[in-house]
Structure 1
Amino acid sequence: MSTDYAALRTMGWPAARPDQLPADWTAVLQDHPDTAIGRVVEQHRSGYVVATGPDETAAVDSLPDWQKPRCPPEQRACVGDWVLLKVLDLHRPQIVAMLPRRNVIKRAAAGEHFKQQLIAANIDVVFVVVGLDLDFNARRLERYLMLVGAADRIVVLFTKADKQQVAADVFATVQQQLESQGISWHALNAKDSTAVSVMSQYLHEGITAVLVGSSGVGKSTLTNALIGEQRMRTNEVRSHDSRGKHTTTYRHLIPLGNGACLIDTPGMRELKPTGDEELGTTFDDVESLAAQCKFRDCRHVAEPGCAIRAALERGELDPARMENYRKLQGEIRRAQDQQAVRLEQQAQAKVLTKPVNKRQKSKYER
């Protein structure tokens, strides 16, 4: 298999020339000669769909290790990953290696057992889509901003601006908080192609963007507007609460024709942290106040000299925002504890299986 670098450039390939690649990418490419580079555009339970160009996609087999039940999800490829392909034994192409990720957007999977669910990898811009209708929730927006903090750039798109149902003072407060964090935002009507064109300033050659947000906020409508055709199915939201239904059922990457790529994702109902998140960007105002407290280990409850309690009493800090900060802080700590337990269990399992593997090897060497 061969690699068409010009075609890869239209799939978001970050380097115009081979000598511009990161050193760790170059090392992996040198370790796997005679392979083709592709990008994961769809991930399914039975395998992957990988593109080697804007109009060249194929179903491929994954690495055998990824198919093992105990393989952690974060070690497998996801949409947006760059992989190396090779045809083995005259079968369809197989992934033989994955290039190191620059970043990854993820959340903790639903359920009692700690697992990570990868949303998308190698992302330059995250568009967090929020509807200005009855389903608007400032606390949910804070949670999204926490989860996508690993991205190079975050832009918030407030859709349904033509039928805004959010109080002006509430919206103004959210805008001010975003601006204080250096996060760009735009209010628009997703069905108005002229309004959607504001997104083009973030989408140029070599850029990969992802749309995240709840069901019904207009992610698929935005995608259709950007690609210029009704490729993505859309549904109307419920009238009494503006809640939407899942129209996008899996994540997939779409070339936009100008060298940029867009990943559309299903609406996420559960936004659980993995333990790797930091709250400093999303809640920089809260953490800045906490640094001014008299005591370093201040719990912001009844301690003297607490800057956060003083700000709450003066009305300078929203109590609901502070409560959400506490809640997310607790969730991150619990996720970190669960992650530590899982890593310890994995380490113990490796130690226990070593003697078994050694005995089996010696048995067949006799």
Structure 2
Amino acid sequence: MSHQNLRYYGLSSCFEQEALLYPHLYLARVTEQHRTLYTVVTEKGEKQASVSGKFIYQAYDNTVFPVVGDWVMVSQLDNTEQPIVIEHVLQRKSVFERKAAGTQHATQVIVANIDYIFICMSLNNDYNLRRLERYLSIAWQSSATPIIILTKSDLCSDILSKLAQIETISVGTDILIVSMMDTDIHDKFSPYLHQGKSVVFLGSSGVGKSSLVNRLLGKDVLLTQEIGNDDSGRHTTTKRQLFVLPSGGIVIDTPGMRELQLDTGNLTKAFEDVEQLSFLCKFRNCTHTNEHECAVQQAITHGNLSEGRLENYRKLVKETQYAGLNAKQLEQAKVNNMFGSIGAYKKMRRQMKNKR
């Protein structure tokens, strides 16, 4: 079957070749994700789909289930009365995932197979460097390229100072400054929105993700909600959706994230300055607290590194240390972080027992 229509949705030769392994199935891309149903686009247009019973039986965790952006193999393409069936998810070239909100160990895959991650942060009350560091850590881990989008520039009176702060924590990352008053939105985004390229808009609720997608689409497809300068308000976007732009690029809009806990993250890339400084410390196992000749503390003293950035780095290191551990390993890691060793923990318990 010809895949010409799917090329508008980002189909590459890599996915096309992998699809040949399933000659009796049909290629499709997930464009919307619901509770148990999906919307997929095929050569014959959009269809409703569900995963097969065999897929559910063989799934070892939630991360293998389809998400928006996935390329999948489906059956029953000619049956229009019932949802078609997703039999396989093709290998993902990139994936943005986080630790599932409100859980201890589960991982939630947000989107897959994107080329760029647009991290949106407004320049008024949503502005938060520490949260931006979290997004960058996960984005660099995803195999996609992060781009920082600073929205609501018309509501900010000190853009240059905030831009200077962001540049200190985002080396190697492009930064776009936008406002809904801009008349050149398409020009600003054109370097990233080529035909076949997929991007996702991520960020807190109310920063203007859906409004930007509407501007790029040239029409009001997504519902937006006017909110105040404090960025308070309910989520406007309630589900992840994939759209093809008139220019040929593909965009995915997502609901705002209240929590962004790390499951894994590329701290080496997101905190390149801190990790490079650590190599200059006198001691290899330097904790960057009160050791002699600590290059990290010297950088803070000289104003080249902020205390807040170092503290956030330590916090994210601890979060990623716990990723993938079983219950026993998780408990031991937490004890080591709190007490230094299991021996020290047992000694503390004996002292507490004797005191009682």
* Same fold? TM cut 0.5: yes
1:183 Cα deviation after fit:
0.6
Q: Secondary structure at the match of 2:133?
A: helix
Q: Give the 3-state SS of the residue equivalent to 1:272 in structure 2.
A: coil
Residue 253 (structure 2) aligns with: 264
Structure 2 CA distance for aligned equivalents of residues 127 and 339 of structure 1:
35
Name the counterpart of 1:64.
53
SS of corresponding position for 2:51: coil
Describe the shift of the 1:249–1:166 C-alpha distance in structure 2 as closer, same or farther (beyond 3 A): farther
Equivalent in 33, 37, 58 of residue 47 of structure 1: 37
Q: Distance in 1 between matches of 2:58 and 2:92?
A: 23
Q: How does 1:182-201 map to 2 (within 5 A)?
A: 182-201=172-191
Residues 1:142 and 2:142 aligned together: no
CA distance in 1 between partners of 2:49 and 2:41 (Å): 10
Residues 175-214 of structure 1: matches in 2 within 5 Å? 175-178=167-170, 181-214=171-204
* Residue 152 (structure 1) aligns with: 144
1:191 positional shift: 4.5
How big is each residue's C-alpha offset from its partner over 1:25-48, in whole Å with a ceiling of 9 and x where there is no partner? 63x433311322100011111221
**For 1:245, which of 234, 238, 263 is the aligned residue?**
234
Q: Is the 8 A contact 1:87 1:93 kept in 2?
A: yes
The answer to whether the Cα contact below 8 Å between 1:134 and 1:166 also exists between their aligned partners in 2 is no
Query: What residue is the counterpart of 1:301 in the other structure?
Result: 289
Deviations 1:218-258 (A, max 9, x none): 1000000010001111112234x223420001111111133
CA contact (8 A) 1:86 1:96 kept: yes
CA distance in structure 2 between the aligned counterparts of 1:66 and 1:191, rounded to whole angstroms = 47
Pair 43,300 (structure 1): closer, same or farther in 2 beyond 3 Å: same
Shift of 1:124: 0.4
Instruction: Note closer, same or farther for the CA distance 1:335–1:49 as it changes in structure 2 (3 Å cut).
Output: same
Alpha-carbon distance between aligned partners in 2 of 1:75 and 1:112, rounded to the nearest angstrom: 18
CA distance in 2, matches of 1:151, 1:247: 28
RMSD, matched Cα: 2.4
In structure 2, the residue matched to 1:359 is none
Aligned CA distance change for structure 1 residues 197 and 339 (closer, same or farther; 3 Å)? farther
Aligned equivalents of 2:103, 2:58: Cα separation in 1: 17
Residues 69 and 113 in structure 2, CA contact (< 8 A), matched pair in contact too: yes
Describe the shift of the 1:128–1:59 C-alpha distance in structure 2 as closer, same or farther (beyond 3 A): same
Paired position in structure 2 for 1:107: 98
What's the TM-score, normalizing by structure 2?
0.85
The CA distance in 1 between the partners of 2:186 and 2:158, in whole Å, is 21
The answer to whether residue 64 in structure 2 is matched with residue 75 in structure 1 is yes
Q: Using structure 1 for the length normalisation, give the TM-score.
A: 0.83
Residue in 1 that maps onto 2:339: none
Q: Distance in 2 between matches of 1:106 and 1:197?
A: 30
Q: CA deviation at 1:112?
A: 3.3
Q: Which AA in structure 2 matches 1:190? A: M
- Separation in structure 2 between the aligned mates of residue 302 and residue 32 of structure 1, nearest angstrom: 59
The CA distance in 1 between the partners of 2:118 and 2:231, in whole Å, is 20
* 2:347 aligned residue: none
AA in 2 matched with 1:110: A
- Measure, in 1, the Cα distance between the counterparts of 2:273 and 2:115: 25
Task: State the alpha-carbon separation in 2 of the partners of residues 217 and 95 from structure 1.
Answer: 34
Q: How many residues align?
A: 327
Give, in angstroms, the shift of residue 263 of structure 1.
0.5
- Structure 1 residue 166 displacement after superposition: 5.0
> Residue 66 of structure 1 contacts residue 75 of structure 1 at CA under 8 Å; is this kept in 2?
no
Instruction: Tell me what 1:348 maps to.
Output: none
Percent of matched pairs sharing the same residue:
36
Superposed CA offset, 1:34-65 (max 9, x none): 32210001111122110115x82110121324
Q: Deviations over 1:330-353 (max 9, x none)?
A: 1111234359979xxxxxxxxxxx
Paired residue secondary structure (1:335): coil
Specify the alignment match of 1:131 in structure 2.
Answer: 122
1:328 and 2:316 aligned: yes
Distance in 2 (alpha carbons) for counterparts of 1:66 and 1:165: 53
- Per-residue deviation at 1:194? 1.6
Q: What are structure 2's unaligned runs of at least 5 residues? A: 331-356
Q: Could you tell which deviates more after superposition, 287-296 or 69-78? A: 69-78
**What is the CA distance between 1:12 and its match in structure 2?**
0.9
2-side partners of 1:167 and 1:201: how far apart? 23
Task: Give the counterpart of 1:289 among 274, 277, 287.
Answer: 277
Question: Is 1:122 aligned to 2:120, yes or no?
Answer: no
